[in-house]
Amino acid sequence: MLDGKVAIIVGGAGQLGRASSLLFAREGAKVMVADVKAADAKRVEDEVKAAGGDAASFQIDVTDPEQSKQLADATLKRFGTIDILVYTPYYPHGSDLIEDVSPANWKKSIDVNLNGAVYCSQSVIRTMKQKRSGRIINISAGASVGAPKMAAYSSSKAALVVFTKCIAAELGPYGITANAIVPGSFGPRERFGQAVLDFVKRRYPLGRLGTPEELANGVLFLASPMADYITAVALPIDGGFTGVLRAYNFGEEPA
Ligand SMILES: NC(=O)c1ccc[n+]([C@@H]2O[C@H](COP(=O)([O-])OP(=O)(O)OC[C@H]3O[C@@H](n4cnc5c(N)ncnc54)[C@H](O)[C@@H]3O)[C@@H](O)[C@H]2O)c1
């Protein structure tokens, strides 16, 4: 589905970044795996190559706008163009009441979750405009609707959705789409406490965590020709969590 396309996967060493890198390469894309964790990004690069794909890796701290320019330059130098940008990094926020959120925690959340996406988009847009095609996919979060003790994370992720829609409006005339994915909880059970697992079982219609591969399928869809006419969308991939109201179930809990 992505034959010959060049994709930058920012946060490529993470769960979703890795799954997307492997899937994109399997679908014919050349992948630049970018992450602050250089050794982990290189490991993903090696995995892609071991599976027969084409990849490179790049160390980036997304909070520095200069480094996103360097990432775009390195991708152009290595692969000749840029077709797809996927932005996945986030700052592991504390779980604090708003009066306890430190200025440093607040700033870091905005820097990584929002500002980094802005810088990365800015660094690829010139190339995409020249080509009159391109795909930008930003990873938000179900918590972007607003959640207690998650103000820094939720606010930055909500702003990321609006940013994505703003650039979709600007870039549509150039044949560039920009979409967000709004994940529910995904990954191995060990990453979550029992309270979250219980919550997922009760409140997600599908009653389970997602896998990084299931999320990556959505990223691939938005990057592929199947989504040619889709832009400015925030696509939930969350086992139905944000799509239904489970408050009025008259005490009937799913088994
Ligand atoms: N896993 C979930 O349950 C879940 C739920 C909702 C939303 N999300 C969102 O999905 C996205 C991917 O989640 P994940 O579970 O794959 O995360 P992850 O922690 O596995 O991966 C994130 C990657 O981003 C990288 N990163 C962090 N700060 C960076 C920086 N300053 N510069 C460059 N890279 C940096 C990390 O090194 C890591 O490799 C995140 O944006 C997250 O907010 C995840």
All structural domains of the chain: 6-243 (3.40.50.720)
Pocket test for ligand 1, best of 10, 16, 20, 211 (most atoms within 8 A of CB): 16
Mean pLDDT calculated for residue range 202-210: 95
Per residue in 140-184, pLDDT tens? 999 999 999 999 999 999 999 999 999 999 999 999 999 999 999
Burial label, 145 (beta-carbon count in 10 A; 0-12, 13-18, 19+): exposed
What pLDDT sits at residue 93? Answer: 81
Confidence grade of residue 251 (pLDDT, cut at 50, 70, 90): low
Nearest of 153, 12, 162, 161 to residue 87 by alpha carbon: 12
Bridge partner list, 84: 7, 135
184: left (phi over 0), alpha (psi -120 to 50) or beta: beta
State in Å: Cα 14 to ligand 1 middle: 6
Atom of ligand 1 nearest to the CA of 157: 43
State in Å: Cα 253 to ligand 1 middle: 31
State in Å: Cα 186 to ligand 1 middle: 11
Whole-number mean pLDDT of the chain?
A: 95
Q: How far apart are CA 115 and CA 243, in angstroms?
A: 28
**Which residues make Cβ contacts (< 8 Å) with residue 143, sequence separation at least 6?**
150, 153, 154, 157
Pocket test for ligand 1, best of 88, 120, 139 (most atoms within 8 A of CB): 88
Nearest of 47, 59, 43, 121 to residue 87 by alpha carbon: 121
The pTM score is 0.97
Nearest of 59, 42, 234 to residue 21 by alpha carbon: 42
**Which residues make Cβ contacts (< 8 Å) with residue 89, sequence separation at least 6?**
10, 11, 14, 35, 36, 62, 112, 113, 116
Atom of ligand 1 nearest to the CA of 40: 39
Q: How far apart are CA 28 and CA 164, in angstroms?
A: 26
Atom of ligand 1 nearest to the CA of 143: 6
